[in-house]
Amino acid sequence: MIFSSCQDVVPFLSEFTSPDESRRLVIGTVYVALACISIPTSVFVLSVFTKKELLTHSCYKFLTITSILDVTCLTNAALFSGLLTLLNLNPCNGHAWTFVFAYFAPMLWYTYCAASEVLSLNRMLFFVNDRLSNFLFKGKRTWLWLIYILSYPIICAQFHEDGMFYVYDPYSGLIYDGKPYHFHAITNFSKLGTVSAMYIIMVIAIFWKMHKSGSSSTLKHQINISLQTLLVAFIGDACATFYILAQSIIVGPYLGFAAQLSWIFLHLSTGLVYLIANKKVRDSFLVVNFPHILRGRKIMIFSSCQEVVPFLSEFTSPDESRRLVIGTVYVALGCISIPTSVFVLSVFIKKELLTHSCYKVLTITSILDVTCLTNAALFSGLLTLLNLNPCNGHAWTFVFAYFAPMLWYTYCAASEVLSLNRMLFFVNDRLSNFLFKGKRTWLWLIYILSYPIICAQFHEDGMFYVYDPYSGLIYDGKPYHFHAITNFSKLGTVSVMYIIMVMAIFWKMHKSGSSSTLKHQINISLQTLLVAFVGDASSSFYILVQYIIVGPYLGFAAQLAWISLHLSTGLVYLIANKKVRDSFLNLLGRLRSKTCCAKKNISALSMFSKMISTTNQSSVAIVYRI
């Protein structure tokens, strides 16, 4: 049916779900960003669990099933939900097919609940009753449990009278029950109780078994994987409880968003737990991405920094005063630049600006500004102040360093798309509309997010980067010519497109004058040109420093160039962009008015207290006379 209003579909929704475009865009962007992180993580964990030597253990068969469900749930809860939110597709504006999408959410959740229960049963019986464990889970019998796991959601659906009715609301970012389903809550809490009880019994059995027969290597391995599943179950129970409570107690505009995040976090945390705690997964991750820091199956304990980065010269020797200066400057710049970029982003996502394709791309670049500044300034500063590096045992910092070039490649792709958008606006209206009109602009996210993955394939034997706290710079572990080629090709491509844009602007103004619309487009284009110029200068300097190390503070200067690139982006728009500048001045005006009101209240309060004091003194005098 064609619904006349949203209240016909979801009459229980409160007024806070009324259209708020800025909230919708924030929610959608966060969901898609989390999907881009969580789905590859879960897929990688799944690829390890499906190895032949691990599938001889029954627990890894169930972990394979739960990992597949992690991927499908994340695709539903993060990726599809994010796209529906960004595109504002819901039953209230004619997209009745989204009911089908919402229908699969509880079905996937019921399936995951069943798999979690079977996994906890498997872990408990391994330590409690070997005979029963072998009877139920030995060999290929484990796969027979798929019958129960896949049947469970179908059985649960039968307890919903008149069928299941769920709806996804893009403005709150949550899939709501169309009517109260008590069985949904019962299922969640029964899963919570069942799984918790079995894991409690498992923990007791582990202590009893270790006390009775000691701990062999096989038992240690089983205990480790069991404790990992226990941690995942604990996080899952907490998230499921919060999700149910949020659906029942709607008290704020972002509570639905928080509830959906708890569901996403459940499956994201599963991948992260196994990535960090499971030796097989962790070693496989390091083998794929950092083959130079592994010997056999064990992580090296480095005897000196020269074993990790033999090309570093003597100026990177420990200098505590330099390290503290570098770390303090980075953290200070992070505290200034990140709020600036977040404020600029909050303006760019306003509804009236997002009608222009350039502001859609600027929204993407602003999100990347925030993430790059978090990496280059805040995290780098903390690593420097705490002196965390591979040379003193913190091999995990390789992962931090790995993300720096990936973020940079993503930013390069977004900058190229922005320059193409600006050039075509003045050069070819027809092609510009074809590529960027309406929601087509968001499709460029496919290219932007795919670009760093493609670039990583050109690094032979995986990417190898290391952060040195004493120079304050992320170095290439070995010369990557493709890194330099990418930077200079980006510099050339963006520069050429902006040169063509400037020529087209002069020609257009000479031919047809300058209307108010054209002036606005010229202004925003010149702002992006200035940002691109600063970016090209910074990236050129950064690359040169990596190949020409001539002083103790040159690495610091190079990292500052990267930070200044993203900081200057926020400052350029804060100063030159009228919408951003006016929003900032309005914010200052509101703060000033609040301060003035507070001062007036304080002065009034002091006058009132003086009056009371005078009155009290007069009363005392009268009493004394009497």
On whether the CB atoms of residues 316 and 305 are closer than 8 A, the answer is: yes
On whether the CB atoms of residues 395 and 470 are closer than 8 A, the answer is: no
Burial label for 398, CB within 10 Å (0-12, 13-18, 19+), is buried
Q: Is the pLDDT of residue 140 over 50?
A: yes
Q: How far apart are CA 250 and CA 293, in angstroms?
A: 49
Q: How far apart are CA 181 and CA 160, in angstroms?
A: 7
- The closest of 71, 47, 49 to 60, measured between CA atoms, is 49
Least confident of 41-50, 150-159, 330-339, 458-467: 458-467
The fraction of the chain above a pLDDT of 70, given in percent, is 77
621 CB neighbour count, 10 Å cutoff: 10
Q: What is 6-289's CATH number?
A: 1.20.1070.10
Reported as a pLDDT band with limits 50, 70 and 90, residue 212 is confident
What is the DSSP code string of 14-70? -GGGS--HHHHHHHHHHHHHHHHHHHHHHHHHHHHHTSTTTTTSHHHHHHHHHHHHH
Q: Enter the tokens of residue 35.
A: 């999907």
- pLDDT higher for 538 or 364? 364
- Boundaries of CATH 1.20.1070.10 in the chain? 6-289, 318-576
Question: In the block, which residue shows the tokens 């499971």?
Answer: 278
How far does the chain reach from its first CA to its final CA, in angstroms? Answer: 87
Q: Is the pLDDT of residue 74 over 70?
A: yes
Q: What is 318-576's CATH number?
A: 1.20.1070.10
Least confident of 59-73, 346-360, 403-417, 485-499: 485-499
Sort strands 465-468 and 473-476 into parallel, antiparallel or unpaired. Answer: antiparallel
* Helix, strand and coil percent figures for the chain, each rounded to 5: 80, 5, 20
The fraction of the chain above a pLDDT of 90, given in percent, is 13
User: Residue 414: what pLDDT?
Assistant: 94
Q: Enter the tokens of residue 507.
A: 């020609």
Q: How far apart are CA 167 and CA 26, in angstroms?
A: 20
What distance separates the 2 farthest-apart alpha carbons in the chain?
103
* pLDDT tens digits, 232-275: 888 887 887 777 666 655 556 777 788 888 889 889 888 888 88
Length of the chain: 626
